[in-house]
């Protein structure tokens, strides 16, 4: 499985790319996907998205003027959705209060805490 990362006026400093690569590798290890995936970091909202959105094999994350930790949590949330759809074959439910959405919210928070614990050299960069 290959992840293609695209920055569209993302506002993410190139010095932070290593952190993002580590995090994506961490996601691949914990929630392996079978198909290639595009991750697009955007400087402006696209359509009705809030901070992130998911299409089959594509994740979009609003990144400009946000803390790295918040961007990565959004990425984790959308990655979990991709895993739910592709690997677990679940069907999307409501955006608010649905079982799938609640699960992605919970899991993405846990992923962030585990990443901080498992990759301690990332902690300072997360709060930039």
User: In the 8-state DSSP scheme, what is residue 121?
Assistant: G
Q: Quick one: pLDDT at residue 45?
A: 81
Mean pLDDT of the chain: 91
Number of H helices, E strands in the chain: 4, 4
Q: Quick one: pLDDT at residue 94?
A: 67
Q: Quick one: pLDDT at residue 97?
A: 75
pTM of the model: 0.93
Domain parsing of the chain, residue ranges: 3-126
pLDDT digits 0-9 by tens, 110-126: 999 999 999 998 888 88
Residue 58 makes CB contacts below 8 A (sequence gap 6+) with 37, 38, 39, 40
pLDDT digits 0-9 by tens, 46-100: 777 788 888 888 999 999 999 999 999 999 999 999 999 999 988 877 677 788 8
Q: Look at 50 and 6; give whichever has higher pLDDT.
A: 6
Closest-CA residue to 87 (of 39, 40, 20, 27): 27
Q: Quick one: pLDDT at residue 50?
A: 82
DSSP alpha helix (H) spans, the chain: 17-30, 68-86, 99-118, 123-126
Written as six digits, the tokens of 72 are 């990565």
């Amino acid at each position: 499985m290959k992840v293609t990362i695209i920055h569209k006026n993302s506002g993410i400093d190139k010095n932070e790319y290593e952190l993002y690569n580590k995090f994506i590798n961490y996601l691949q290890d914990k929630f392996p996907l079978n198909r290639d995936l595009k991750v697009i970091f955007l400087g402006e909202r696209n359509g009705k998205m809030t901070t992130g959105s998911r299409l089959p094999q594509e994740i979009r994350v609003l990144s400009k003027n946000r803390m790295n930790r918040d961007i990565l949590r959004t990425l984790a949330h959308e990655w979990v959705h991709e895993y739910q759809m592709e690997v677990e074959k679940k069907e999307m439910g409501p955006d608010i209060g649905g079982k799938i959405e609640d699960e992605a919210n919970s899991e993405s928070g846990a992923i962030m805490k585990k990443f901080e614990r498992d990759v301690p050299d990332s902690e300072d960069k997360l709060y930039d």
